[in-house]
């Protein structure tokens, strides 16, 4: 049975399509699916993902986002899979009022980080078939393993319930753009 995405997810996707295409066309990412990918290329690309996750974690901390927001747990998991300290709140950061966003903004970032798991599964499978030895950090791209699709369904349901007002949807679209922009350029602020 195919489940259609809720309208808000379609809106987030349409609003970020240009940025999604930029990510897909980045040589650094596309080479991970090359039959000639090397461990060095994988590690170089992984550094970009580490920078992305660290940057988003620091932004969450700076924004003083409630620790129960799903993006906090999501980033903690990614940090752990990358071999980083798992807490998004490990370092003291000053608060910048211009960077404090609504929880719905962070729902948009959550959409991007969790959505990246879909492509990550394809990358992980390819890397496991191509690299020898397989670095343990390939785990980062496997996220929820065989449960990735079920987890994505849970994310879609959460976002569909959380983003019911036009204001919430506008904030989420801005957050999704921010999430993609920071992946393209981890020093995006």
Q: Are 78 and 113 in contact (CB under 8 A)?
A: yes
Structure-token pair, residue 173: 């679209």
47-60 per-residue burial string, b: 16 or more CB within 10 A, e: under 16 = ebbbebbbbbbbbb
Whether pLDDT at 93 is above 50: no
Whether pLDDT at 61 is above 90: no
pLDDT at residue 143 in the model: 84
Is pTM, for the whole model, over 0.85?
Answer: yes
Structure-token pair, residue 86: 């798992």
Region 67-82: mean pLDDT is 90
pLDDT at residue 85 in the model: 78
Q: Where are the domains of the chain?
A: 7-88+95-184
Whether pLDDT at 100 is above 70: no
**Mean per-residue pLDDT over the chain, rounded:** 85
- Distance from C-alpha of 123 to C-alpha of 141, rounded to nearest angstrom: 7
- What tens digit of pLDDT does each residue of 108-147 get? 999 999 999 888 899 999 999 999 999 998 988 988 888 9
**CATH class assigned to 7-88+95-184:** mainly alpha
């Amino acid at each position: 049975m195919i489940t259609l995405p809720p309208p808000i997810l379609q809106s987030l996707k349409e609003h970020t399509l240009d940025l999604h295409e930029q990510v897909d066309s980045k040589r650094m990412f596309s080479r991970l699916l090359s039959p000639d990918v090397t461990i060095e290329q994988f590690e170089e690309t992984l550094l970009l993902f580490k920078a992305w996750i660290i940057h988003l974690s620091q932004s969450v901390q700076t924004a003083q986002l409630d620790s129960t927001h799903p993006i906090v747990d999501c980033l903690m998991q990614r940090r752990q899979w990358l071999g980083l300290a798992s807490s998004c709140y490990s370092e003291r950061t000053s608060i910048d009022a211009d960077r404090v966003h609504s929880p719905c903004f962070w729902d948009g970032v959550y959409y991007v980080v969790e959505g990246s798991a879909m492509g990550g599964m394809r990358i992980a499978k390819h890397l496991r078939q191509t690299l020898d030895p397989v670095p343990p950090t390939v785990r980062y791209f496997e996220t929820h393993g065989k449960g990735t699709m079920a987890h994505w369904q849970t994310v879609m349901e959460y976002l569909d319930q959380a983003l019911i007002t036009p204001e919430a949807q506008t904030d989420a679209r801005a957050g999704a753009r921010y999430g993609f922009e920071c992946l393209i350029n981890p020093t995006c602020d």
